[in-house]
Amino acid sequence: MQENQVLSATNPVPCERLALVSFSYRDFSGKLHDDGSVVVFDAVAPQVQEIFNELLERKFPLQRAQPMEVYHGDDEASMDHNNSSAFNGRPITGGGAWSKHAYGVAIDINPVQNPYIGKDASGQTMMLPSAASAYVSRKVRPGMAEQVLEVFFRHGFLIWGGYWKQPIDYQHFEIGSRDFIARLLALPKDQARAEFAAYTQGYGACMQRSDIVAMPNLVTRRKACAGQSKR
How many CA atoms within 13 Å lie on the side-chain side of 190?
0
Q: How far lies 217's CA from each of 6, 138, 165, 220, in Å?
A: 41, 18, 21, 6
Q: Could you tell me the strand order of the sheet in which 159-160 lies?
A: 106-108, 172-174, 159-160
Give the β-pairing of 83-84 and 64-65. parallel
pLDDT in tens, the chain (231 residues): 654 457 888 899 999 999 999 999 999 999 999 999 999 999 999 999 999 999 999 999 999 999 999 999 999 999 999 999 999 997 676 667 888 999 999 999 999 999 999 998 888 999 999 999 999 999 999 999 999 999 999 999 999 999 999 999 999 999 999 999 999 999 999 999 999 999 999 999 999 999 999 999 999 999 999 999 888
According to DSSP, residue 13 is labeled: S
pLDDT at 125: 93
C-alpha span between 83 and 86 (Å, rounded): 10
pLDDT at 220: 94
Q: Is 159 helix (H, G, I), strand (E, B) or coil?
A: strand
C-alpha span between 137 and 78 (Å, rounded): 22
- For residue 198, which phi and psi values (nearest 5 degrees)? -65, -40
Q: Measured over all CA atoms, what is the biggest interatomic distance in the chain, rounded to whole angstroms? A: 53
Q: How far lies 64's CA from each of 23, 28, 73, 117, in Å?
A: 11, 10, 16, 21
**Cβ–Cβ < 8 Å for 158, 100:** no
Q: Pick the closest to residue 230 from 174, 186, 150 (CA basis).
A: 174
Q: Pick the closest to residue 201 from 166, 153, 168, 167 (CA basis).
A: 153
- For residue 84, which phi and psi values (nearest 5 degrees)? -85, 135
